[in-house]
Amino acid sequence: MATVLSVSGSPSATSRTTGLLRHVDARLAALGHEVVPFDARSLPAEALLSADFSHPAIVRAVELFEQADGVVIGTPVYKAAYSGLLKALLDVLPQYALRGKAVLPLATGGSTAHVLAVDYALRPVLSSMGAGHVTQGWFVLDRDITLRADGTAGVELGTDALLAPVVDAFAAALGHAAPAGTAARTPEFAAAR
């Protein structure tokens, strides 16, 4: 099966966005995919904000993207867009880091007023990075995600019922993604580094 990089763009240590991602990860793992969780907040701020492409943590993050067949990207919505932390991460990746990959964009927020952030803020950036297929994204209200004491997250049943086919469609798209590492061999990818 496919290798999926599950990226949290939340700066918070107790994040509903990260909880949602781990919930989605469990579904993808149950479908037979290998899931690699990655929190952008684990990157050293100095290296990230100064775009230190040679820093070992940044090099490793780039490698994780290269090795993935698909990427799930989750972000809280701040000021009607994805988080600044996610933006900083995307900025240090090569221009075509998502070439040939299936990508599932997810967002969380406190109000349905932010539901369009997935399509109007996040999707264009993911497409510009060469994503082979940006599947239907999904927005989940914060109140529909419960963080448990054991570190897992629960998703409200009605919300989970709507989210499940979105995750399943992404899983199906993984079968059409280019083999892992293909992006690293393209001339555009090398030039963007």
Please give the pLDDT value at position 191.
Answer: 37
* CATH for 34: 3.40.50.360
Range of the domain at 69: 3-192
With H, G, I as helix, E, B as strand and everything else as coil, classify residue 106: strand
CA dihedral 182, 192, 94, 2 (to 10 degrees): -10
In which element (H, E) is residue 155 found?
strand 153-155
Task: Please give the tally of structural domains in the chain.
Answer: 1
Strand partners, 70: 4, 102
Question: Which residue type is seen at 148?
Answer: R
Distances 81 to 29, 78, 138 between C-alpha atoms, Å: 29, 6, 14
- pLDDT tens, position by position, 130-141: 998 999 999 999
Inform me whether the pLDDT recorded for 83 exceeds 50: yes
- pLDDT tens, position by position, 30-78: 999 999 999 999 999 999 999 999 999 999 999 999 999 999 999 999 9
